[in-house]
Structure 1
Amino acid sequence: MDKLVAVLDEQNIEYEIIKHSKQLNTAQEGAEYFGIEIGQTAPTLILKTEKGYCCLIISGDYGRVDFDSLRKILSVEQVKLASPKEVEQVTGSMIGSVSLINRDIPTIIDSQVNRFQYVYGGTGVPQTTLKIRPSDLEKMNEIVGYIR
């Protein structure tokens, strides 16, 4: 998490890292814990394609991932969720803790996160949450496309 904090501070990003006593495993748990709308939670999913890995940052109320639209955005034949082992290899984090900031991985963002002043998502470390402006997610990641 030191690397995350250093990168955010270096770019003068306004953020908050919130520590909590229990692991938050779902968008619903996060929304309840922080007293926010489920859409303000922003899980980071790791996708696997024949061209490599990609991040997908979604609004917690997105529902089912539309793999057809992701294939078009990424210009690939196949897209699937990376396995837990692959997620750990690519990000250094376990599923459920993947950071919102992954500067070296191409990222697709759900444009619906922009409905909110702040979104809440992973830091790469269990039992911590990053609170950040959606516009700063765009600055801090290599954005290759948008859904919705």
Structure 2
Amino acid sequence: MDKLISLLKSQHVDYEVIEHRKPIHTAQEGADYFGIHIGQTAPTLLLKTDKGYYALVISGDYGRVDPVHLKELFHFQEIKLARPQEVEKVTGSTVGSVALINPDIPTFIDRELYRFDYVYGGTGVPQTTLKIRPKDIEKLNHTVGYIR
């Protein structure tokens, strides 16, 4: 997480890292824990495609990710959610803790996150959450496209 904090500080980003004792496994659990709209939760998913790995930062109210829709939207031949072992290998984090900021991974962002001043997502470390502005997620990642 030191690398993440260093990047956030060097880019003068308005953020907060929140530590919590209770693990958060779902968007609904995050919304309940922080007392926020479920859409303000921002899970980061890792996609495995025929063109390599991509991160997908979605709003917690997105619903089920449809690989067929993403395949058509982004012109992939193959796309699926990465397996837990792949997530750990590529991001250095376990599923459910993947950081919102992964500058080395091409990233797609859900435009619905921009409804909110701040969103809440992973730091790469379990039981910590990053509160950050959606525009800073876009700025600090290698953003290559958008959904919705």
Measured against the shorter chain, the TM-score band is over 0.9
Q: Which runs of 5+ in 1 are unaligned?
A: none
Runs of 4+ in 1 over 6 A off after TM superposition: none
**Correspondence for 1:25:** 25
State the shift of 1:51 in Å. 1.2
Relative to the length of structure 2, the TM-score reads 0.98
The one-letter amino acid of 2:77's match is E
The one-letter amino acid of 2:50's match is E
Relative to the length of structure 1, the TM-score reads 0.98
State the shift of 1:22 in Å. 1.2
**Correspondence for 2:34:** 34
CA distances 1:44-75 after superposition (whole Å, capped 9, x unpaired): 00000011100000000000113233223432
Give SS of 1:136's match.
Answer: helix
Give SS of 2:102's match.
Answer: coil
**Correspondence for 1:118:** 118
**Identity within the alignment, %:** 66
Number of aligned positions between the proteins: 148
Give SS of 1:94's match.
Answer: coil
Q: Does the CA-based 8 Å contact 1:47-1:80 persist in structure 2? A: yes
**Correspondence for 2:104:** 104
Give SS of 1:145's match.
Answer: strand
Alignment of 1:29-108 (within 5 A): 29-108=29-108
Say if 2:143 is the partner of 1:143.
yes
Q: Does the CA-based 8 Å contact 1:55-1:106 persist in structure 2? A: yes
Measured in 1, the distance between the counterparts of 2:22 and 2:91 equals 22
Give SS of 1:120's match.
Answer: strand
Across the aligned residues of Structure 1 and Structure 2, the Cα RMSD in angstroms comes to 0.8
The one-letter amino acid of 1:105's match is I
The one-letter amino acid of 2:74's match is L
Give SS of 1:5's match.
Answer: helix
Q: Which runs of 5+ in 2 are unaligned?
A: none
Measured in 1, the distance between the counterparts of 2:30 and 2:9 equals 25
